[in-house]
Amino acid sequence: MILPPPLWSKAPAQPRLMPGEIHLWRANLTERDRVQKCKEVLSSDELIRASRFAFDEDRTHFIISHAALRTLLARYVGGEARELEFSIGEHGKPSLKQTFTDVRFNLSHTDGLALIAVSRGCDVGVDVERVDDGIEFEQIADHYFEPRESWDLRITPAEDRAMRFFDVWTRKEAALKASGTGIGATPDARFCVRNFSPAAGYAGAVAGEGEDWRLACWDWSL
């Protein structure tokens, strides 16, 4: 399913997350004036990881996206953003160590934009990609897509092929991230996946358990 472009709006100070809802947050990663303030909510381990990036742009994206994640989760579970603790699953999917909450989340970022999906009591996955028409669509699709998906891509008009490729790619990534498995794994039938346009020039998808979940979309601010 492809959703109409989300209506991104200013979020309430204290968002209320109900079962059957997915809250989707969008963060601009290019605003360098946020970096110093964002560093204040990161853990010492995250600051060390940030310092290892060779390029300033990558470092900025990491700092802002992880600060966005921490500040948002703190709104849902309470406490100080910097004190939140995470555990990492077998395939790298993080979760909160705090045992008193059923909040689940997933983060994806690419080329200046981050998306964070938050749910309660059910797994969630999100993916965002910059649409790039300079890659070898058919070769990648033949390796990772189902035969029907590869064929659909090949018969898509040339001017629409890039968007079609990234719609399929983000759907797969979102579903795999929701289930906590890696690329190439069999999709989990528990998850309903929906495509959407997070911003001009980007493709996105969000996956959640069941088919009747509702989506709310907000812009993050520190």
pLDDT digits (tens, 9 = 90+) for 75-124: 999 889 999 999 887 777 888 987 678 899 999 999 999 999 999 988 99
Can you tell me whether residue 118 is helix, strand or coil?
Answer: strand
- Domains of the chain, start order: 9-211 (3.90.470.20)
- Per-residue pLDDT tens over the stretch 27-59: 999 998 999 999 999 999 999 999 999 999 999
Confidence at residue 78, expressed as pLDDT on a 0 to 100 scale: 87
Euclidean distance between CA atoms 20 and 31, whole angstroms: 33
Euclidean distance between CA atoms 30 and 95, whole angstroms: 26
Res 73 pLDDT > 80: yes
Structure token digits, residue 29: 């990663």
- State how beta strands 202-209 and 124-130 pair: antiparallel
**Single-letter amino acid code for the residue at 10:** K
**Quick one: what percent of the chain has pLDDT higher than 70?**
93
